[in-house]
Amino acid sequence: MNFLRLFVLLLVTLVAGCATQNANKDAGRNPYAAVDTSRTIDLTHPAHDIWDRIRRGFAIPNLQDPLVDEWTQYYASHPESMYRMSERAKRYLYFVLDELERNQLPTELALLPFVESAYDPQALSRSRASGLWQFIPSTGRHFNLKQDASLDQRRDPIASTRAAVEYLSYLYDFQGDWYLALASYNWGEGSVKRAMERNEDAGMPTDYLSLKLPDETRNYVPKLQAIKNIIADPKRYGVKLPPVSNTPYFTAIRKTHPLEVAVAAKLAEIPIEEFKALNAAVNHPVMTPEIVPTILLPANRVDIFKANLETYLKGKNGPGSGSEPGLHLVAMELDPTSATTSANATTAAPTRLRTRTSATTRDIIVRRGPNLRTHIVRKGDTLYDLARRYSTSVGELRRLNNLKNTHLKLGQRLRVPGTDVQG
């Protein structure tokens, strides 16, 4: 009996050794293979930097797909590009993370602008998508992002981030799956829904990996997973990340008089490129308070800006001129629930949408009221499509109908904005 136990132990040891050798060989063949980014994290101590804070909030299951390995290898083989993107991202990451955490969303979504725009607020695609989150004009207008000759809020880091958070919250609530939600963000929820319906009609699975998707969308989620892999363990991939403290990078300043962009940059003693990176929504060289009531400045430059402004105004107005100072400035806390922190004070904070792992459709009792009409849900209808059709928001439709989720069913009666009441 003792001999048998010894033989079994020897056999197990031998098999384990072979497995270790094979694993080492595989690692040598593909040093950039996707890693399991889930790990034990000590939450008893505050995050020591922004990257640590991001890692602590990872919540989307890791995608296992050959495309993930390909894109991880691609990004890892371009460490200079990763560093430049991270340098641009450091201006916005603290605010983005605050918004994600406030809305109970996974922190890896803070990495999505790496894929969308390389964290460049001036990025413009062939489809006219613009800003960190790459909103096309129509989607931007749906989320009340102002777009005209003076201002394009798709490039506003505050307004666009809040719009993206609201949209991603809605998509996850609609799909119940982060891979499908992300695919919908890239391709459109209607397109993803139709792809799922085609698979369902053919008796095929409707998960993300089973869908027939365009190449851009097929690579979209793997790209995000690849960035996540590198941020999770940059040393493994030979990538250096710039230091980014876990503190607010910018502060909002409210002003009451016009101010030139070039003058504002000089008063803050920052390069004009830095000022434009924070105030990318501004299209005009002169920022009037009616169009741009607030500006964003690096937090460590606010006092310098105010001191230089005082000197500048004294010289401009001169003693005994009887002129009032040209500007009144107030530093503002970036209260996530306040609309006044945006580069446009007319932009309201988005409705907070809860995320769930699953959602079910419930019957809605429709009550008639003034300036409302009844919409009967047809095949293909989504809350997002109906919000655009009736010039309202998803949040307002949910409020009007006491909807706990975004799922609709055929024949369902919904209250929508209108001048007449039907049914």
Which residues form the catalytic set?
A: 116
Amino acid at site 233: D
How far is Cα 74 from Cα 128, in angstroms, rounded to an integer?
26
The answer to whether the CB of 250 falls within 8 A of the CB of 95 is yes
Residue 271 has which token pair?
A: 């390069």
8 A C-beta contact, residue 339 and residue 345: yes
Sole residue written with tokens 């010289």: 315
Strand partners, 417: 372
Report how far residue 65's alpha carbon sits from residue 122's, in angstroms, rounded to the nearest whole number: 32
Amino acid, res. 86: S
Pick from 144, 142, 167: nearest CA to 156 = 144
Residue 396 · residue 361 · CB < 8 Å: no
Q: Which backbone phi and psi does 84 adopt, to 5 degrees?
A: -65, -45
Q: Give the helix/strand (H/E) hosting 192.
A: helix 189-201
354 vs 103, 127, 171, 407, CA distance in Å? 7, 30, 11, 14
Instruction: State the Cα–Cα distance between residues 350 and 164, nearest whole angstrom.
Output: 10
C-alpha–C-alpha distance, residues 75 and 232, integer Å: 13
Q: How many helices (H) and strands (E) does the chain have?
A: 16, 7
Residues forming a β-bridge with 348 = none
**H/E stretch holding 157:** helix 157-175
